[in-house]
Amino acid sequence: MNELNERILIIGAGAVGAYVGGHFARAGLEVILADPWPAHVEHMQAHGLRVEGMTEPECFSTPVRAMHLTDLQSLNKERPADIAFICVKSYDTVWAAALARNYLAPDGFMVSLQNGINEDAIAGVIGWNKIVGCIASKIVVELVEPGLVRRSVSKGGKDYTVFRVGEPHGRVTPRVERISQMLADIDSVKITTNLWGERWSKLVQNAMGNGLSAASGMSNKQFTQNEITRRLSIRLAGEAVQAGQMQGLALEKIAGVEPDQWLAAARELTGAANDTPVLDELEARMLAQSERMSDSARPSMGQDMIKGRRTEIEFLNGLVVQRATELGLAAPANAGLIAAVQSVERGEAPAGIERVQDI
């Protein structure tokens, strides 16, 4: 792979794929954005991609090479891709990886830049030696309309590491160093030797907010400031942390808080303790953080529900329940949230706090 002239294929130019791909294109990298939404692809082909952020320097337009999935077969006549980023929803991982494999160079590899833990699904398509994991933490991006992706939180910069790149085997390799270099032009990044601990920590973060927004209809700020939903979020986190630790994973901080604090706060809640020092401190921190949140920013699953799209609930909270069950643990908050989200998805009940207040 020639780093000076590498070809990058992004399968899934939704919120994260378009955001990252737009920055790559602006930096002069050779990138192809492939997406199933015809209007989005055609807008990018005609007008380029618009990226917006919280400050003026983050807002730009750039020409991009965008393709319909049905047109990717024409790449067979071109030089193959060196790196394929898989940026689709978890439930689309297998077909996206199988599609990308057709246009990948023999020494190329794939990067899972997704919610959930999908490296095993990609490895089932192309093998473990051709997969790198990448986490985008607290990025809060949305594909607002065809050709426009918006980030609604401030950049992490030196205060918060947004991207974490790692090999499944944990060693530092030239390819993760290269992905780290590419992402460093976008926001803060680190190479991790603890991919699985990082992945599960991000899963905890997703499990405590994504489905909650989808079922309640609330933004991040709203569900954090409401006591019912804030405390449910803490219980969701506690169950997910326990399932991760019982697997032997070394969890990282979650939203800036040590995993043991989430677990202790959840136990204070579920144990109906009279004295709740950990819970009190954690809630005060969450409320302070909420003051810096956008009024309207929603996690991806909350966005999906509003748009009438399928959610990833079974790949996020569902994975928590699955692992907990395998370990002989109970995860009633996560199980209850899955049922609530699915009832809204099926149109059996509207999104609202009523869906989650009795979980």
List Cβ neighbours of 136 (8 Å cut-off, separation of 6 or more). 16, 20, 113, 162, 163
d(CA 218, CA 189): 30
Confidence tier at 3 by pLDDT (50, 70, 90): low
Biggest CA–CA distance in the chain, Å, is 69
Sign of the torsion formed by the C-alpha atoms of 222, 228, 234 and 240: negative
User: Is the separation of the CB atoms in 82 and 7 below 8 Å?
Assistant: yes
H or E segment to which residue 8 belongs: strand 7-11
The single-letter code of the amino acid at 69 is L
Take residue 224 and report the two structure tokens written for it.
């954090």
Residue 299, φ and ψ in degrees, nearest 5: -70, 170
Residues 16-21 have a mean pLDDT of 98
d(CA 168, CA 173): 11
Query: Would you tell me which CATH number, out of the four given (3.90.70.10, 1.20.1440.120, 1.10.1040.10, 1.10.3720.10), belongs to the domain 201-355?
Result: 1.10.1040.10
Question: Terminus-to-terminus CA distance in the chain, angstroms?
Answer: 51
Give the pLDDT of residue 187.
96
Residues of the chain with CATH 1.10.1040.10: 201-355
Query: Could you please report the per-residue DSSP string of 80-143?
Result: PEEEEEE-S-GGGHHHHHHHHHTTEEEEEEEEEESSS--HHHHHHHH-GGGEEEEEE-S--EEE
In this predicted structure, the answer to whether residue 242 has a pLDDT above a threshold of 90 is yes
Give the pLDDT of residue 2.
47
CATH class of domain segment(s) 7-193 = alpha beta
Residue with tokens 């390799």: 173
The single-letter code of the amino acid at 48 is G
Confidence tier at 159 by pLDDT (50, 70, 90): confident
Query: Could you please report the per-residue DSSP string of 185-229?
Result: TTS-EEE-S-HHHHHHHHHHHHHTTHHHHHHH---HHHHHHSHHH
Give the pLDDT of residue 138.
86
Give the pLDDT of residue 133.
98
In this predicted structure, the answer to whether residue 63 has a pLDDT above a threshold of 70 is yes
User: Is the separation of the CB atoms in 210 and 340 below 8 Å?
Assistant: no
Q: How far is CA 76 from the centre of its chain?
A: 30
Within 10 angstroms of residue 286's Cβ, the number of other Cβ atoms is: 18
Residues 238-244 have a mean pLDDT of 98
Give the pLDDT of residue 153.
84
User: Is the separation of the CB atoms in 266 and 234 below 8 Å?
Assistant: yes
Model pLDDT for residues 249-296, shown as the tens digit of each residue: 999 999 889 999 999 999 999 987 789 999 999 999 999 989 888 888
Closest by CA position to 199, among listed 151, 133, 120, 257: 133
Model pLDDT for residues 88-111, shown as the tens digit of each residue: 999 999 999 999 999 999 999 999
Confidence tier at 79 by pLDDT (50, 70, 90): very high
Residues 69-73 have a mean pLDDT of 96
Residue 306, φ and ψ in degrees, nearest 5: -60, -35
